[in-house]
Structure formats: structure tokens, C-alpha cells
Structure 1
Amino acid sequence: MTSAPLDRRTFLGTAALGSAAIAAGSSARADLADRLDAYQFEVNRPEGEWREMLSNLEFNVLREGGTEPARSHPYWEASEPGVYSCKACDLPLYDSEWKVILPMGWVFFYHSRPTAILTDIDRSGPMTGGTGPAIEAACRRCGSHHGHIVGINNEVIHCINGAGLTFTPSAT
């Protein structure tokens, strides 16, 4: 399912915030563990409990900031109406009406639900590729890493790992 592209004002505002965040990167924390220690999330669990409730891939993505292989999760090309929530704490993050299917093989959304996603500088993520920091997208409730906010085809969109999501179809 595709949505209308971002309007110019929204795009420029988001790009300005992203640029400011990257410029402030020198004072930002260097990795996911530091961020998790520095912020008080509503849902906190010891590592052993996270490992019990998540598969190895889910733990790697959500708790260690990893990335699933492209096209490895069925959500990347799913088009059913519904809500995508955080697999670690069930917070609704994205509505399917904001989803866009791109050939890269991850789950893409034009934006999240209000106050659902926290952003931060990710210096260690796979998206950096030696070109500088990336903007990380994490769950506001539990701090789980979901992916990154990227620029593709002149649009700022959320590139999300399907392994970190659950899907609830819309009632018909």
C-alpha cells in the first residue's frame, strides 16, 4: 500500500531536524546500550527475560540494534490494513495506511503514530557504512531498536525491521 508523498513543509522540517541531530552527534551517546541506560523507559526487563521472550533474531534487532536480512520477513511486502506494534512491548507504532512497499526488502513507513517512536543518533548501526551517523528509530515505551529514518527518492521515511513488529489486521 502506498501513501501520498510528504509535502514540502513536512519534508523540510523533518530534514532540518535530522540535520540538527546529526550535527549534534559529537555529544550524543555512541551506541544502543548507552541510550538504554540513560533513559527511563516504561517497560524494563533484565536481559535474561528479553532473551526468553524473543527469538535470537528478534533479540539481535530489538535489543542489540541489529538488522534482519533484506526480504527475510513477510511484512516487507504485506499490504493488508492494520496496525504494526512493537514486538517487545505491544505499543502500536505504525498504521498500514502510512506503509510503502519498496524493493529494498524492509518495512517502510512515511511516519509513525504520534509519540510512538524516539529518534537518536546511531553511530554503530549497519546503515552508517563509514559515511557518518544514522538516525535511529526506537520504541518510546521499551527502547527497542526498530530501524532507521532514511532518505529514499527524495523522501524521509522509516526503514523498519519486520522482526521487531507484530501485526494486527483491521477489523472488517
Structure 2
Amino acid sequence: MMIKNLLLGALAIAAISCKSNAQEKSADGETTASNTQDYKVSKTEAEWQSILTPEEFNILREAGTEPPFTSPLNEETSPGTLICAACYAPLYENEHKFKSGTGWPSYDRAIDGAIVLDSDMKIGYKRDEAKCATCGSHLGHIFNDGPEETTGKRHCINGVALDFVPEGQALPELRK
């Protein structure tokens, strides 16, 4: 009887602590990815390696980080759209860019529905990781130290993860 009660208690705890595999919305409206997220563009790691440069693969697929102050996008202020370097999905409008002084391109918001958030504990504390909602590629991180007069958010994004499409130029089709 005691073993049966222990088993039932363990099952109840497991059921309560399990989370759904569906996307969730955070308090500020960002979509949160689950570990079993399905993406519109999905490739094997070998397929990604065959179409991305080694630097793009490291950042986009292995969650690497480019050295600060190395991206030409830091100084890009022309009107246009930033797209995912892996799948070409539109992610950011350059009008929402600001100078953060951190060494990485920074935006106060993404295009609606363009990114999903994930938890990143790689450096010993929790950070909000920004991923492309279309292919799941790592873009960078989101912090709460952005411009207070807009969103208060700082999307700190690796320039290697983005391609710039000037305003008036057609966006490329999604890479399937």
C-alpha cells in the first residue's frame, strides 16, 4: 500500500511539473519556444553546414557569438530590413536600431512574430535567447536595458546572423 501511494504521488508530481510542447507568450508578448519547437524551415545540421559559412554556422546553429565591434551592420543606418542569414525570414526593421555601445547591432523590437525566445544558461545565469521563428537559428539575446522611451528592450544581435536588404529592394524568398 505504501509503495502504491508513493508511486501515485510521484506520478502526480510529474504530471504537475510537465510543461506543454506548445509555444507560450511571455508577459511582454514575446513568443517563447519549447524544446520541441517545429519550424517552417527545417534542415539537418549537414544541410545547414553546406549552405552557411563556417562563421554563420557557428553563430546561427551552434549559438556562438561574434567578437564585438566587428560587424559592418553596427554602422548601417540606411532604411531597410534585416533578414535571417540562414533562411531569409524578415526579422528587424533598421528604423528600430539604436546605438547601444555594446559592439553588436541592437534593436528595440523585432518584426511581429519574427523571433521566439528561449532560455540560455550557458554562462551561469538565465538570459533570453532570441531565435528566428522561421528556422530556429540563434540570433543573440534580449535584455531589459534598451531605450525607455520606446520598448525598454535591447535585442543584442550578432551581425553575422543578419543580412541587410535596403528599402526598395525586394526581399529574397525563404530558403527552403
Q: Name the TM-score class by shorter chain.
A: 0.7 to 0.9
Q: Is the radius of gyration larger for structure 1 or structure 2? A: 2
Aligned length: 138
Q: RCO (CA 8 Å, sep 6+): is it higher in 1 or 2?
A: 1
Partner of residue 72, structure 1: 70
Paired residue for 2:80, among 79, 82, 89? 82
Once the two structures are superposed, residues 59-83 of structure 1 have per-residue CA deviations (whole angstroms, 9 ceiling, x without a partner) of 1110011110001110012111100
Partner of residue 142, structure 2: 149
Percent identical across equivalent pairs? 38
Runs (5+) with no aligned partner, structure 2: 1-26, 170-176
Question: SS at the partner of 2:129?
Answer: strand
Paired residue for 1:158, among 139, 155, 159? 155
Instruction: Give structure 1 regions of 4+ aligned residues with deviation exceeding 6 angstroms.
Output: none
Structure 1 residue 123, shift from structure 2 partner: 1.1
Measured in 1, the distance between the counterparts of 2:63 and 2:121 equals: 11
Bigger fraction of residues in helix: 1
Whichever residue aligns with residue 161 of structure 1, its letter is: N
Give the root-mean-square deviation of aligned CA atoms: 2.1
Measured in 2, the distance between the counterparts of 1:142 and 1:164 equals: 12
1:55 aligns with 2:53: yes
Measured in 1, the distance between the counterparts of 2:52 and 2:130 equals: 19
Contact 1:77 1:105 in 2 (8 A): no
Measured in 2, the distance between the counterparts of 1:51 and 1:120 equals: 23
Q: TM-score, normalising length from structure 1? A: 0.74
Q: TM-score, normalising length from structure 2? A: 0.72
Partner of residue 8, structure 2: none
